[in-house]
């Protein structure tokens, strides 16, 4: 294993793999209420094709894999896929980001298959507001199912379970203290995420809060101190409130961006390797792979994508990617 770095000498060891663009929710910052046209099934990579790309990436130096969507648990056979990844030499960690709706059903199976940790997206603690934000379909708008999923993940050993909250002014910012308080006695690990602009949501874009504003809102609970952790490999900065059992994290993609030490690339469900979440530049791996490309040539394409990774996003200058909705990028 040689290791892989981009043109700015940032080590790249983290691959986020989207297994589907489909989702059982319609979150207001992700897609319109009527949804988006799904990708043709023939364009979605098979698990074997995904595994081939992951294997080549790992041989280059990737060691951490995160499974995303859409909603990854809606794809049939996801536990079998996790087992396939777990058997690839050099994979050190497999994690997943999910909305939690189906987590109680699959938590034990995906843990047994080799999943190490799980992040659950949950933007409110209030049932009626949950339905408004997530606009669940097929009975997916029930927050009780997410709570059950979080508990099932903990019982299965997928710890620490991290709760991701995208904060939106006038929508759920009145619950910042509620989420932060959950870290005191219930050992929640809450991460507040700055809202990123992205194509695919409704015309009226919600307004986000900066990390500085979030910290000011949490001040009444006590002075937070930095927390050193041994889990995860992402951009969040973690803190603890006095006497808290859990942690509070901040992902500050806009106000305190972390591009200078970004360590990740993304593979979309239709086989596009995306060097940066907020860039429209992608390299197609699906057609070369289906055309019989050899493993060494596949590695060259992956290296090319890594080398094309930009120095940073341009959100501060008003640029946002317009090529595809967020659910088709993979988070």
pLDDT tens-digit readout, 174-208: 999 999 999 998 889 999 998 876 544 445 567 88
Mean pLDDT of 215-244: 88
Question: What is the per-residue burial (b if ≥16 Cβ within 10 Å, else e) of 11-21?
Answer: ebbbbbbbbbb
How far apart, in Å, are the Cα atoms of 136 and each of 23, 35, 48, 225, 275? Answer: 9, 11, 31, 37, 31
Q: How confident is the model at residue 171 (pLDDT cuts 50, 70, 90)?
A: very high
In-domain check, residue 9: no
| Residue 6 counted as domain residue | no
State the Cα–Cα distance between residues 144 and 125, nearest whole angstrom. Answer: 10
Q: Which tens digit of pLDDT belongs to each residue from 13-23? A: 999 999 999 99
% the chain with pLDDT above 90: 68
With a CB cutoff of 8 Å and minimum separation 6, the contacts of 233 are 13, 14, 64, 93, 263
What's the Cα-to-Cα distance from 101 to each of 177, 235, 264, 317, 326, rounded to whole Å? 24, 25, 26, 36, 19
Q: Judge whether 3 lies within some domain.
A: no
SS3 179: helix
Strands 247-251 and 237-240: antiparallel
Closest by Cα among 75, 276, 246 to 161: 246
CA of 327: how far to CAs of 29, 68, 72, 247, in Å?
A: 10, 9, 11, 28
Please name the residues in contact with 243: beta carbons below 8 A apart, sequence gap of 6 or more.
184
Yes or no: say if 85 and 55 are a contact pair by the CB < 8 Å rule: no
Handedness of CA 192, 196, 202, 204 (dihedral sign): positive
For 236-286, the pLDDT digits (tens) are 899 999 999 999 999 987 766 667 778 999 999 999 999 887 777 899 999
- Cα–Cα distance list, 219 to 65, 139, 176, 188 (Å): 35, 37, 11, 18
CATH number of residue 73's parent domain: 3.20.20.70
The count of other CB atoms within 10 Å of the CB of residue 36 is: 19
Q: Flag whether 66 is in a domain.
A: yes
pLDDT attached to residue 320: 58
Ramachandran class of 206: left when φ > 0, alpha when ψ lies in -120 to 50, beta otherwise: beta
| pLDDT reading at 166 higher than 70 | yes
- Over range 98-119, report the average pLDDT: 97
Confidence at residue 195, expressed as pLDDT on a 0 to 100 scale: 85
Does residue 196 belong to any structural domain of this protein? Answer: yes
59-63, 113-117, 159-163, 233-237: segment of lowest average pLDDT: 233-237
- The structure tokens listed for 122 are 């949950």
185 found inside a domain = yes
Res. 312: pLDDT tops 80: no
pTM for the model stands at: 0.91
Give the chain's mean pLDDT.
Answer: 88
Say how many Å lie between the first and final Cα of the chain, rounded: 27
Is there a domain that residue 126 lies in?
yes
Structural domain span for residue 287: 14-328
Question: How many domains does the chain contain in total?
Answer: 1
Is there a domain that residue 8 lies in? Answer: no
């Amino acid at each position: 294993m040689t290791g892989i770095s981009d043109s700015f000498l940032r080590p790249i060891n983290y691959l986020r793999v989207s297994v589907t663009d489909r989702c059982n929710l319609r979150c207001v910052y992700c897609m319109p209420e009527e949804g988006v046209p799904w990708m043709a099934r023939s364009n979605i990579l098979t698990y074997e094709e995904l595994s081939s790309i992951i294997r080549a990436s790992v041989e280059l130096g990737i060691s951490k894999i995160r499974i995303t969507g859409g909603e990854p648990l809606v794809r049939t056979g996801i536990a079998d896929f996790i087992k396939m990844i777990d058997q690839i030499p050099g994979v050190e960690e497999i994690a997943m980001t999910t909305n939690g709706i189906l987590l109680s059903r699959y938590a034990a199976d995906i843990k047994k298959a080799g999943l190490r940790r799980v992040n659950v997206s949950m933007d409110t603690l209030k049932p009626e507001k949950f339905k408004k934000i997530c606009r669940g379909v097929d009975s997916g708008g029930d927050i009780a199912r997410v709570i059950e999923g979080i508990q099932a993940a903990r019982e299965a050993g997928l710890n620490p379970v991290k709760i991701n909250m995208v904060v939106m002014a006038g929508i759920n910012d009145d619950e910042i203290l509620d989420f932060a308080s959950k870290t005191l006695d219930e050992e929640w690990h809450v991460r507040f995420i700055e809202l990123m602009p992205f194509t695919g949501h409704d015309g009226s874009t919600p307004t986000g809060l900066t990390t500085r504003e979030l910290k000011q809102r949490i001040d009444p609970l006590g002075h937070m101190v930095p927390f050193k952790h041994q889990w995860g490999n992402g951009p969040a900065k973690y803190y603890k409130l006095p006497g808290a059992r859990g942690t509070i994290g901040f992902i500050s993609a806009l106000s305190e961006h972390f591009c200078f030490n970004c360590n990740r690339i993304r593979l979309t469900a239709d086989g596009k390797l995306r060097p940066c979440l907020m860039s429209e530049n992608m390299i197609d791996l699906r057609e070369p792979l289906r055309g019989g490309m050899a493993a060494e040539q596949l590695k060259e394409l992956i290296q090319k994508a890594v080398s094309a990774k930009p120095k940073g996003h341009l959100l501060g200058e008003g640029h946002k990617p317009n090529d595809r909705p967020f659910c088709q990028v993979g988070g």
